[in-house]
Amino acid sequence: MAAAALSPFRSWRIGYARLDYVRPVHWAAHSEDFGDVIVVELETHDGLRGAAEAIMRPKWHDTSVEELRSALTTGLLPALMVCNRQDHQSVSAELARFRHHGFACALVDQALWDLRAQEEGLPLWKAMGGTDPRLPVSFTLTRTAPSIMAREAAEMRSKYGFTAFKVKTGQGIDIDRRAIAEIRASVGGDVTIMADSNRAHDLKSVAAMSSMLADSGVVWFEDPCAFTADASFRQAQEESVLPILVDNQSRSIDAARTFVDLGARAISVKTMKTGITESLAIAKLAQAHNVKLAAGISASGGAGAISTLSLAAALPASQVCLACEETFFLYLQQDLIDRPLQVIGGAVDLSEHDAIAANIDWRRMHAIVAA
């Protein structure tokens, strides 16, 4: 077989679309009522297609659509086309050369996993090591008035059966206290609640904030303040009444290893942040040191959710501190997949979603770049 036929893919295309939300979403640093979605699809010489999807958020990814497209089309994708598809280490090494384009690398890594799963004749969740296509999920309540958060929580519990929620805190301790209390009253005492402040607090307020959350029945506290993998994290953890879930500051296996060495009790893995290959490596590291894991929200559409949900299915249940967070697709008025994901009884069944590429409806893209 010719060397070219052994390359990971023979061609690629990148699609763009704008998806409207059912309501405005308020993140830590910005608000939005739509998402600009990017899809990367790779096609092999024998006609297999692998894809990955994400919503572009410059505030999250530190890049624009134009910069991402340039990184993919003029650097990363052409470089990978000369690799040997059977040598996964060389492919990973080539991706590592573009680590400064982390979001682009994460997208391509997911698309390559989608291809590998098809080559093995397995659904993506099983190719990653999952044993059950049905997995519990949680819902993320973004920042707004406490009464609105509580009403949405009650609606999501009633409509979809959610028994776990991530609550975006960081609106001030009094508002956060009221939000948690009203959410708890609306969903009942048997529901698991985790708080995520997205580094909204300063170090000196972590103790008081975590104490309030613990008294309110919250079980984990994600990114309470701006710390790094050094003494500032150790201090934050020592002063927090609740165990801290490390998310934003852990963007590589090296960073995760440092946090584990500092005594981290839980780490979030995200497909948009560390792709699949590195996320699985972080999960293996965490398992070896009895550190809990969360399959964090990448806030993508249905196609991106399949990737994150598949990753979550591969995590040992005993290690998971909160059901998979990737249910942002419920915020979308429309989606790019032709078989929308369903949340029934607080769980998603992946058995009808074997490959990401096979689910995407390219007719819904408003712009396509191909090579």
3-state SS, 12-25, equals EEEEEEEEEEEEEE
Q: Closest Cα partner for 57 from 38, 41, 77?
A: 38
Residue identified by tokens 């769980």 is 347
- With a CB cutoff of 8 Å and minimum separation 6, the contacts of 135 are 309, 312, 313, 323, 324, 347, 348, 350
Q: Contact at 8 Å (CB) between 177 and 216?
A: yes
Both tokens of 73, joined, read 């089309």
DSSP 41: E
For 98, counting Cβ atoms within 10 Å of its Cβ (0-12 exposed, 13-18 middle, 19+ buried), the class is: middle
Both tokens of 165, joined, read 């929620």
Supply the pLDDT for residue 3. Answer: 44
CA dihedral in degrees (190, 196, 200, 202; nearest 10)? 80
Supply the pLDDT for residue 369. Answer: 87
Amino acid at 186: S
CA dihedral in degrees (254, 260, 262, 263; nearest 10)? 170
Report mean pLDDT in 10-residue bins for the chain, 371 residues: 64 94 88 93 92 89 83 92 81 86 93 92 94 96 96 98 97 97 96 96 95 97 94 93 94 94 96 94 96 95 96 95 96 92 97 89 89 80
Residue identified by tokens 């104490």 is 211
User: 182-188 long-range CB contacts below 8 Å, 24 or more apart?
Assistant: 182/146, 182/147, 182/149, 182/150, 183/141, 183/146, 183/149, 183/150, 183/153, 184/216, 184/217, 185/150, 186/150, 186/151, 186/153, 186/154, 186/157, 187/153, 187/154, 187/157, 187/162, 188/157
Q: In the chain, what are the domains?
A: 3-121+362-370 (3.30.390.10), 126-359 (3.20.20.120)
Give phi and psi for 163, each to the nearest 5: -120, 10
Amino acid at 116: R
Supply the pLDDT for residue 5. Answer: 52
What predicted TM-score, i.e. pTM, was given to this entire model?
0.94
